[in-house]
Amino acid sequence: MSSAAVGRPLRIGIVVGEMSGDILGAGLMQALRARYPDAEFEGVGGPLMLAQGFHSHVPMERLAVMGLVEVLGRLRELVAIRRRLVRDFLDAPPDVFIGIDAPDFTLGMELQLRRAGIPTVHYVSPSVWAWRQNRIFKIAQAVDLMLTLFPFEARFYEEHQVPVCFVGHPLADQIPMQPDQTAARRALGLSPTGLKLAILPGSRAGEVQRLGEVFIATAQWLRTRLPELEYVIPAANEERRLQIQDILARLAPDLPVQITDGRSREVMAASDAVLLASGTATLEALLLKRPMVVAYRLAPTSYRIMKRLMKAPFISLPNLLAQRELVTELIQERANPVELGKALLRHLRYEIDPDKLQREYSRIHEQIRRGASERAAEAILEMLARKQKEKAS
């Protein structure tokens, strides 16, 4: 490696924009440190990365914004942060820069840094196969290597001659093929018997604002039909807990609900069904083999723009991976208490064959269980070795 040649530690720049990226970044840091124990990491990272000694120039929360219209309200701040990060990396160039997800933020950085001679990697493909497909041309200019979590994404890049490696998803490596519902209930202090619904309205304030009241109203609708049903809501942080508690106090003060501090994976594992916002949590629910109903809501203007540009037939990861409607997804106005409640009842009353669903989930789990962090680290280091060899020749 070039860092070894100059007698200094490998320096790696990483920028992540939300918790799912923090999970990927932490796993990648571990895999790279297994090969280069003195490697140094800096940029923007979350709590899992910080716990491993990552130096974050900016709190990750400043990048966590969702929706086209919502981004516009924070655009000036986001542009200033990106300008500062680019300047920092140009002043002290890392051996490689890795943008993890957050493509509207990180791809612009990658383009500038690559033009300055810094090798660049993008980890987690933007949804170019689904919408705004012309982004592939910018990606081709911005990255030396694209790392994809899913096989259908890699095929798209191969068709467009963009260097790519399908690495699988770290969550598929972490979550066992047969999750233990009883152990999850015990760990959370829940009764070992009885029907339980996990409710996950999202980890961002905007998501909880858009879906929290709808999800609580759905729980109220279900309560009149399944009085024995219990509810568990994992709060991503103290702010989300207060937000959820406020909704419960206003709409359903008597709802038998337990709010946990985080532990969303255990909450889903302990449940009989999951009601959740579209996002990475839907993949976790699939890997945990949980029946689910997925909801998605954006600000009206953001949704109208997205709908015009959208090419894919689905929004949720389980359906995209299955290439068919494996789970129910309800969007915008259809994400209402009655439709959500009816879809959940079908699972809670076993009207949908749970064994067939389990088999489909397991097939997808095996497909993306590839040792993702290790494969990603190997692909990055191989790319750097090739570049060093080309530079020397």
Cβ atoms 229, 193 nearer than 8 A: no
User: Which residue would you say has higher pLDDT here, 99 or 5?
Assistant: 99
Q: What is the predicted pLDDT for the residue at 233?
A: 98
- For 2-168+370-392, give the CATH class: alpha beta
| pLDDT tens figures, 356-383 | 999 999 999 999 999 999 999 999 999 9
Cβ atoms 348, 66 nearer than 8 A: no
As a whole number, the mean pLDDT across the chain is 92
Query: Which residues are registered as beta bridge partners of 294?
Result: 276, 329
- For 174-368, give the CATH class: alpha beta
Q: What is the predicted pLDDT for the residue at 303?
A: 77
Ranges 117-121, 206-210, 354-358: which has the least confidence:
206-210
Residue 64 has pLDDT above 50, yes or no: yes
- Tokens 């196969």: give the residue: 129
- Domain ranges (residues) in the chain: 2-168+370-392, 174-368
Domains 2-168+370-392 and 174-368 share a fold: yes
| pLDDT tens figures, 163-188 | 999 999 989 999 999 999 999 999 99
Q: What are the tokens at 154? A: 């890699």
Handedness of CA 94, 51, 177, 226 (dihedral sign): negative
Residue 337 has pLDDT above 60, yes or no: yes
Residue 132 has pLDDT above 70, yes or no: no
| Residue 65 confidence class, pLDDT cut points 50, 70, 90 | low
Question: What mean pLDDT comes out for the span 100-123?
Answer: 96
Q: What is the predicted pLDDT for the residue at 77?
A: 85
